[in-house]
Amino acid sequence: MDELSRRDSLKVLAAGVAGLPLAALSSAEAGAQEASGAPAFRGQHKPKPLSFDPSKLKGLSEKLIRSHWENNYGGAVRALNAVEQRLDTLGKEKDLPPFIYGPLKREELIRTGSMVLHEYYFDNLGADGKPAGAVLDAINKSFGGYDQWAAEFQRTGMSLAGGPGWALLTCNLHTGELHNYWAYDHAHNAPTGVPLLALDMYEHAFHMDYGAAAAKYVEAFMQNVKWEEVNRRYTSALKAVELLRT
């Protein structure tokens, strides 16, 4: 294939991917009911309901939370469904050039990351932000104290303020260690890293309430963390660490 036709093909594919949140989604949702391929390509993910009352958070409005859940998280779920079904279709074309398939695989990774991290994010909201349990002991041991951890976690978040990324408190199943990681574009984490606490630093997570004042959003987020859920994730991760070492 010559360079001109390759460039034209990429333009066509890019246009298709760019349109996923709009035109392609309705057809993908309709097609999901009829999908009969392998589970990896059926595109039948469904949004997970909020586990808390969004009208009762401190410093984060119900309007913001509902918009975030419906439009950004919900959009990621619908887009992932569309991508999976398109991969199924293209995968049946025996002579498909790899450079046509590659951008869709990138979209699959990003949309999956967005769906998963948003579910972690919403599930770790809805309480009073007071840390407790085994995860607090682990934080104290790993960071020299809760305050030291919180300062580093918030600093990590602010390094991404308004940009495409997340701040994640992570337990690494390989090392058993806790670290705060800078996670860019829904698609980055340490290998075998399991998120314990997820902070969305995209503008859509705070702009409606705080404009460009990302630091105020981070402060509000910390006041609403459901540490019971963070602790549950940590104790589950510890079990996985032990299993992997046996």
The DSSP bridge pattern shows strands 178-184 and 165-172 to be antiparallel
User: 3-class DSSP state for residue 187?
Assistant: coil
Mark out the alpha helices in 33-184 (DSSP H runs).
Answer: 62-67, 74-91, 98-123, 134-143, 146-158
In this structure, which topology does domain 134-245 adopt according to CATH?
minor pseudopilin epsh fold (3.55.40)
77 and 49 Cβ atoms separated by less than 8 Å: no
Q: Copy the structure tokens of residue 106.
A: 């990138």
CB neighbourhood size of 239 (10 A):
9
Q: Nearest-CA neighbor of 202 among 194, 190, 191, 210?
A: 210
28 and 82 Cβ atoms separated by less than 8 Å: yes
Please tell me the distance from the alpha carbon of residue 113 to that of residue 92, in angstroms, as a whole number: 25
Show pLDDT as tens, one digit a residue, over the chain (246 residues).
443 344 444 443 434 443 444 344 444 444 444 445 788 888 999 999 999 999 999 999 999 999 999 999 999 999 999 999 999 988 888 888 888 899 999 999 999 999 999 999 999 999 999 999 999 999 999 999 999 999 999 999 999 987 889 999 999 999 999 999 999 989 888 999 999 999 999 999 999 999 999 999 999 999 999 999 999 999 999 999 999 988
Predicted confidence at residue 4, as pLDDT, reads 36
Enter the pTM of the model: 0.85
